[in-house]
């Protein structure tokens, strides 16, 4: 339709110029019958043009057929471009009003538009064929691009299946930049699972080692033939109390972790949950939580790790404090800072430097800063943070844990 309308406008403008040129020739011709149009009749027919002229009641035409078919147009007034359809013919005719030697007349200049339409039909087939070819090429290229774009996803699925079957330990594929974050997060997630599994195994090993000795002693007493006097009964009770204390410590650690592993930490909610829990574990103590004003609440730290880090310190403070434990949380654009104070007896200056060292881990069945602080040091190291131990203004120990919030990659 666009090409057809464009052709009509182009031919209509050309016919208009031809009509104006013919009128100017008539104005310069003084003959009764315009010889210029008569002599041009043959060329009009050759180039599919036609003319009909009515002047002084006389009508001349390039062919008598046009005089009959276009007679109605001679009776109309005004200059305009008119389409005339007669059977298979499609004419485009421009009507021009004129004045010659004081007499009004009408000139019709036309062209057989059906010939142009045949050319346009051929052009349409060519354009359609080229468009279909281009569309096929574009579809093929699009399918190729989609297949190449999805290839890393297929590789990722295959590697995930290999991970599930144990044939692979980590994801490693040449992925586009858009998938780099996904691969890094999956690898981080698997590293985190491995680390938790390792810590769980270590915890089970520690618990087994701690329970093995008192259980062996109790078994020996019960299997022996000697009567159980008051002294031996007291020793058995002490062993059982040690076992109960160790189990309580492990259950406390499980409760600290909570059900929210794998998600980001909401400081207010997660910290308050821990404070309520430890208040129930140590009802004789007063746990106080304060948080800096106008600070971010959600931080990119795994909620499980955050609960363990804060819970270990709160647990130690609850065991050692006389009455009060204070926890203050503050964040900035660069770091998260946890400050826990207690009013207990504290730690000697000479022993502060040894807190959290791997070689000074103590059994959790006795109150002290041993195994828990060692785990705390490992967790903080994962986030490239650090712990500081010092004398608290309350008289006991102050533990300050600082975790960077920019560029965290807890692997």
Instruction: State yes or no: pLDDT of 287 exceeds 90.
Output: yes
Is the distance from CB of 302 to CB of 192 less than 8 angstroms? Answer: yes
- pLDDT for 189: 79
Instruction: State yes or no: pLDDT of 329 exceeds 90.
Output: yes
Strands of the sheet with 89-100, listed across from one edge: 58-61, 49-55, 103-112, 89-100, 80-86
Is the distance from CB of 218 to CB of 240 less than 8 angstroms? Answer: yes
Collapse the DSSP code of 301 into the 3-class scheme (helix H, G, I; strand E, B; otherwise coil) and give the result: strand
The whole-model pTM stands at 0.49
Instruction: State yes or no: pLDDT of 349 exceeds 70.
Output: yes
Report pLDDT digits (tens) over 2-23: 877 888 888 888 888 887 777 7
Report pLDDT digits (tens) over 37-58: 554 444 444 445 777 877 777 7
- pLDDT for 252: 62
Long-range Cβ contacts of 381-389 (<8 Å, 24+ apart)? 382/195, 382/305, 382/410, 382/411, 383/301, 383/305, 383/408, 383/410, 384/408, 385/335, 387/356, 389/347, 389/352, 389/355, 389/356
Question: What's the chain's average pLDDT?
Answer: 78
Q: Express as a percent the part of the chain with pLDDT over 90.
A: 16
Higher pLDDT, 361 or 124: 124
d(CA 181, CA 260): 22
- Average the pLDDT over each of 98-102, 127-131, 144-148, 399-403 and give the range with the smallest value: 98-102
Q: How many residues does the chain have?
A: 411
Structure tokens at 332: 């900035």
Average pLDDT over residues 363-373: 49
Q: Express as a percent the part of the chain with pLDDT over 70.
A: 83
Highest average pLDDT, of 158-167, 177-186, 279-288, comes from 279-288
User: Where are the extended beta strands (E) located within 240-320?
Assistant: 264-266, 286-291, 298-302
- pLDDT for 80: 82
Tokens 């006097």 correspond to 229
């Amino acid at each position: 339709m666009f090409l057809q309308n464009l052709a009509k406008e182009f031919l209509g403008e050309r016919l208009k110029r031809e009509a104006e040129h013919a009128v100017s020739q008539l104005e310069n011709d003084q003959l009764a019958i315009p010889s210029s149009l008569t002599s041009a009749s043959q060329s009009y027919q050759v180039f599919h043009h036609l003319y009909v002229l009515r002047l002084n009641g006389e009508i001349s035409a390039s062919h008598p057929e046009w005089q009959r078919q276009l007679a109605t147009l001679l009776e109309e007034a005004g200059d305009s471009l008119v389409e005339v359809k007669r059977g298979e013919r499609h004419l485009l005719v421009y009507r021009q009003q004129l004045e010659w030697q004081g007499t009004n007349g009408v000139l019709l200049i036309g062209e057989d538009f059906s010939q142009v339409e045949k050319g346009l039909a051929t052009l349409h087939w060519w354009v359609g064929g080229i468009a279909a070819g281009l569309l096929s090429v574009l579809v093929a290229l699009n399918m190729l691009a989609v297949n190449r774009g999805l290839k890393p996803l297929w590789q990722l699925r295959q590697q995930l299946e290999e991970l599930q079957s144990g044939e692979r330990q980590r994801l490693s594929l040449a992925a586009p930049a858009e998938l780099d974050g996904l691969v890094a997060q999956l690898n981080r997630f698997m590293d985190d699972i491995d680390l938790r599994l390792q810590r769980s195994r270590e915890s089970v090993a520690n618990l087994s080692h701690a329970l093995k000795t008192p259980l062996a002693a109790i078994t020996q007493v019960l299997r022996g033939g000697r009567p159980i006097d008051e002294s031996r009964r007291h020793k058995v009770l002490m062993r059982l109390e040690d076992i109960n204390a160790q189990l309580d410590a492990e259950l406390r650690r499980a409760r600290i972790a909570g059900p929210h592993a794998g998600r980001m930490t909401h400081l207010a909610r997660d910290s308050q949950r821990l404070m309520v829990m430890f208040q129930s574990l140590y009802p004789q103590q007063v746990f106080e939580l304060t948080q800096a004003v106008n600070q971010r609440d959600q931080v990119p730290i795994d909620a499980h790790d955050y609960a363990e880090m804060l819970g270990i310190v709160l647990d130690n403070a609850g065991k050692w404090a006389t009455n009060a434990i204070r926890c203050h949380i503050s964040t900035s654009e660069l770091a998260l800072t946890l400050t826990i104070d207690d009013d207990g007896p504290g730690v000697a200056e000479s022993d502060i430097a040894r807190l959290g060292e791997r070689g000074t881990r103590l059994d959790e069945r006795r109150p002290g800063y041993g195994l828990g602080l060692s785990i705390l040091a490992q967790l903080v190291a994962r986030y490239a943070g650090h712990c500081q131990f010092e004398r608290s203004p309350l008289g006991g120990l102050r533990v300050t844990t600082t975790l960077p919030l920019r560029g965290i990659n807890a692997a």
